Amino acid sequence: MHEMSLMESVIDIVCETARLNGARRIRSVRLDVGVLSHVDPDALLFCYEAVRHGTLAGRAKLEINRIAGEGWCLDCGKTVALQERFGACPDCGRHRVQMTAGDELKIRDMEVI
């Protein structure tokens, strides 16, 4: 359950950013979470509920934006869709694919009052 630490980190960062911006309250937070990253979005939402109370984000909505997996296939010389990390190229079936998207784990933006 490292999602708990991740969400604590999210709360820390958004509350700090809100304070720096003179906000009274955070209304929503948007994350970019790649489908190939090592976290489970459901677990993130679950942990978010546990850590947000009593903070500026106490009532903030959490939106998780999923980013599809993509990679550069060295053999085909093009960008291909990746269903799993270290997966094979869907066209040539070989594994020489370098992940280019889908590994994101980022706080994109937030809405404050």
Partner 1 sequence: MCTVCGCGTLPIEGHHHDAGSHGHSHGGGLDHDHHHHGHDHHSDDHDHRDVAHDPHHAEDGSVHRSDGIAGVHVPGMSQERIIQVEREILSKNDAYASENRRYFLRQGIFALNFVSSPGSGKTSLLVRTIRELKDRVTINVIEGDQQTSSDAARIRETGARAIQINTGKGCHLDAHMVGHAVEDLAPEPGSALFIENVGNLVCPAAFDLGEAHKVVVLSVTEGEDKPLKYPDMFAAADLMILNKADLLPHLDFNVELCITNALRVNPRLQTVIVSARTGEGMETFYAWLEAAALRGATRSKEV
Where along the sequence are the contacts to partner 1 (CB under 8 A)?
A: 1-2, 4-6, 9-10, 12-14, 17-18, 21, 23-25, 27-28, 30-31, 38-40, 42-43, 45-46, 48-49, 59, 61-63, 85-86, 95, 105-113
Report the nearest approach of partner 1 to the CB of residue 78 (Å): 20
Of 1 and 77, which CB lies nearer to partner 1 in the complex structure?
1
Report the nearest approach of partner 1 to the CB of residue 33 (Å): 9
Report the nearest approach of partner 1 to the CB of residue 77 (Å): 19
Enumerate long-range contacts of 67-70, CB under 8 Å, 24 or more apart: 67/32, 67/33, 67/34, 67/35, 67/101, 67/102, 67/104, 68/34, 68/35, 68/101, 68/102, 69/34, 69/35, 69/36, 69/99, 69/101, 69/102, 70/99, 70/100, 70/101, 70/102
